[in-house]
């Protein structure tokens, strides 16, 4: 049993008729997987949004589909690119005993206690989530990555530094252990570099504008040859 619960009702509306469903404050969804055919469902927008924010793509949800229980994971959420509202959800039906894949966030901890932080360095997280495999009850809400030993701007944290909980493994077995998750940098140096780049770009733009504003050099008119009178023919 999971911590998140959501009641879904079966729906008949499909295609263009979903616009009416959404106008009534419902989110259309579909539950697929297992031995059953996909089930078309819907649920109240506000309640569903809160559950999705808590569960994300990594925590199982106990669905109640017209009174029938079904554990599931969120596999896809379709977002309206303009309104930024949820248009559709895909749930993957799972069982408590099967190994499933899920995306879990990587959470950086203890950087405040590091030597890097003490000398005013900062960190950049270049990989924020990763796919893992586990039974639903073992799926982590997040993987903590200890940054307490970072000391210089040359230090990095990689996949190899992740500590996976018991029963959890990476979904991609071929993922390079040296794949970078965190890098350390000096904010002062970064700011100076950005300022220098901005200054160089401004100077180049000014030079280009000045060059285009200069009047074109006048081309001297071609010299016209003066006709010379024909020499008189001397008669002996």
d(C-alpha 72, C-alpha 38), whole Å: 13
Mean per-residue pLDDT for 155-159?
97
Q: Which residues contact 119 (CB under 8 A, 6 or more apart)?
A: none
Mean per-residue pLDDT for 29-50?
92
Mean per-residue pLDDT for 154-177?
95
Q: Which residues contact 188 (CB under 8 A, 6 or more apart)?
A: 120
**Summary mean pLDDT of the chain:** 89
pLDDT at residue 116 is higher than 50: yes
User: Is the model's pTM score more than 0.75?
Assistant: no
Indicate the pLDDT class of residue 234, thresholds 50, 70 and 90: very low
Q: Which domains does the chain carry?
A: 4-95 (2.40.240.10), 101-188 (2.170.120.20)
Contact 103, 111 (CB under 8 A): no
DSSP string, 13-52: --GGGHHHHHHTTEEEEEEE-TTSPPEEEEEEHHHHHHHH
In 3D, which of 84, 102, 100, 86 has the Cα closest to residue 34? Answer: 100
Contact 9, 66 (CB under 8 A): yes
Would you report the helix, strand and coil content of the chain in percent, each value rounded to 5? 25, 35, 40
d(C-alpha 131, C-alpha 57), whole Å: 10
At 59-103, the pLDDT tens digits run: 899 999 999 999 999 999 999 999 999 999 999 999 989 999 999
Q: What is the pLDDT of residue 71?
A: 94
Indicate the pLDDT class of residue 224, thresholds 50, 70 and 90: low
Mean per-residue pLDDT for 108-120?
96
In 3D, which of 176, 165, 119, 110 has the Cα closest to residue 140? Answer: 165
At 173-220, the pLDDT tens digits run: 899 999 999 999 999 887 888 888 888 888 888 888 888 876 655 556
Q: What is the pLDDT of residue 220?
A: 61
**Dihedral sign from CA coordinates of 176, 98, 78, 37:** positive
Q: What is the pLDDT of residue 143?
A: 96
pLDDT at residue 235 is higher than 50: no
pLDDT at residue 34 is higher than 80: no
Task: Provide, rounded to the nearest whole percent, the portion of the chain with pLDDT above 70.
Answer: 89
């Amino acid at each position: 049993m999971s911590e998140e619960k959501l009641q879904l009702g079966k729906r008949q509306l499909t295609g263009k008729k979903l616009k009416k469903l959404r106008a009534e404050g419902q989110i259309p969804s579909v539950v697929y997987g297992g031995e059953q055919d996909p089930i078309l469902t819907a649920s109240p927008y506000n309640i569903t949004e809160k559950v999705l924010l808590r569960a994300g793509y990594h925590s199982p949800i106990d669905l109640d589909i017209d009174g029938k229980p079904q554990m599931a994971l969120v596999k896809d959420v379709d977002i309206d690119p303009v309104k930024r509202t949820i248009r559709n959800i895909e749930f993957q039906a799972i069982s408590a005993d099967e190994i499933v894949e899920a995306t879990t966030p990587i959470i950086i901890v203890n950087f405040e206690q590091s030597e890097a932080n003490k000398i005013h360095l900062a960190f950049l997280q270049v990989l924020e989530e990763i796919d893992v495999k586990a039974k639903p009850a073992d799926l982590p809400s997040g993987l903590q990555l200890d940054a307490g030993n970072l000391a210089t701007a040359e230090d990095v944290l990689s996949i190899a530094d992740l500590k996976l909980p018991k029963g959890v493994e990476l979904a991609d077995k071929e993922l390079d252990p040296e794949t970078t998750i965190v890098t350390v940098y000096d904010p002062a140096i970064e700011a100076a570099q950005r300022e220098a780049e901005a200054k160089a770009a401004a100077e180049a733009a000014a030079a280009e504008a000045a060059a285009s504003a200069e009047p074109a050099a006048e081309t001297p008119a071609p010299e016209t040859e003066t006709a010379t009178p024909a020499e008189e023919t001397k008669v002996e």
